[in-house]
Amino acid sequence: MDLIQAAWMIRDLGQPVSAIHIGDESSLIAGGWDGALKKWDKDGSLVWAVQCEDRIETILRIKELVIVTSGLHITCVKQGEIQWSNPLEGSADLLCYHNGQIVATSSVYDIEHGDFMESAIWKFSLDGELLEVSRMDERPWFVQSTKNLIFGLGRPKCGLLIDDVHHELSSNSPVTCGASSPDNALFGHADGTISSIDGVITKEESSIESLVCTKDGFIAALESGVLISRGLDATEIWRNEGVQITTQSTGFNNLHWCGRSQENSGIIEVRNIAGEIVAKTNTTRPRVSTAIENRVAIGFEDGQILVWEMELFERRSNEKSIETDGRRSALAAKLRSLRE
């Protein structure tokens, strides 16, 4: 199946895509490397476009508000108009909404030392009023906002920050990423460990770049380019080796979408629950992806955004199956005639 032809819509942000979000109503919001922020409705019509301060790192929806981290700022947009924008200290990174407050993180990178030297957690009201700021040496690399506010931390302390209290994990390696499941949170570490609050789940051969939860377990993308699916008990289900993984998401029909990068080009791979390739195509470099129940979206280096919709994807897949079955039937008939 041609993945490009199977796309429900293709849009162009006009600059490399750095963040992407699909709303519950199937609207699409994309942010760019140079601060462009655009929203399209569920039918693909442009609703609004604004220019923010700098690269969009994270997009957060709170009803009609769109909150983004943009360069050194946190910015609030409502119906295509910037309502407020506040500078943070260093680059603005993560966002979440917790107990009626907007929570953002920032980090300062020291070029001389080649590491992050200081970070901060900021809490704002919906009107943009700064309520609280707490500074620390560790950079948060993952945030989960459920009953508790949880941050996965880098050096020097590592571990977790849960409701402002530090907790150690079973691995003292820096947290590099994380993923939320309905009942738990998973944390990827620089030494290849995958852990939860309850302990070590498994350890892979290289650093964990990203994690996604699935119906039956999780899928880890490693720094080495290995993609590995494991069950709830950490049993390996399937494994694939390849070039650098830039993004991954789980979408409709339990399909796994993976973007890989090789020099200036890219590859999109779609796998079923058993790890078998359903579709694969060469693209420009994929950067970010996201998914909801019936749609998957991927943003690319050249500014394009591709969105796949479940019904159209299934229809294109069935058409390919019918075409393949037809070719096989014709070949079988030709072989029978030759034998006769």
List the domains of the chain with CATH numbers: 3-313 (2.130.10.10)
pLDDT tens per residue across span 97-155: 999 999 999 999 877 666 778 999 999 999 999 999 999 999 999 999 989 999 999 99
C-alpha span between 187 and 174 (Å, rounded) = 10
Residue 263 has pLDDT above 80, yes or no: yes
Q: Name the percent of the chain in helix, strand, coil, to the closest 5.
A: 10, 55, 30
Q: How high is the pLDDT of residue 319?
A: 83
Those residues with Cβ within 8 angstroms of residue 309's Cβ, 6 or more apart along the chain or in another chain: 8, 294, 295
Residue 241 has pLDDT above 80, yes or no: yes
Mean pLDDT of the region 207-218: 95
Mean pLDDT of the region 67-77: 98
Please, what is the average pLDDT of the chain? 92
- Give residue 185's identity as a one-letter amino acid code: A
- Give residue 303's identity as a one-letter amino acid code: G
- In sequence order, the β-bridge partners of residue 2 are none
pLDDT tens per residue across span 154-206: 999 999 999 999 999 999 999 999 999 777 899 999 999 999 999 999 999 99
Residue 11 has pLDDT above 90, yes or no: yes
- Report if pTM > 0.75: yes
Higher pLDDT: 111 or 35? It is 35
Q: Which of 10, 57, 9, 8 is nearest to 32 (CA)?
A: 57
Q: How high is the pLDDT of residue 320?
A: 60
C-alpha span between 61 and 26 (Å, rounded) = 13
Residue 332 has pLDDT above 70, yes or no: no
Those residues with Cβ within 8 angstroms of residue 47's Cβ, 6 or more apart along the chain or in another chain: 27, 39, 40, 41, 80
C-alpha span between 277 and 244 (Å, rounded) = 18
Q: Is the N-terminal amide bond of 156 cis, ω within 30° of 0?
A: yes
Q: How high is the pLDDT of residue 330?
A: 45
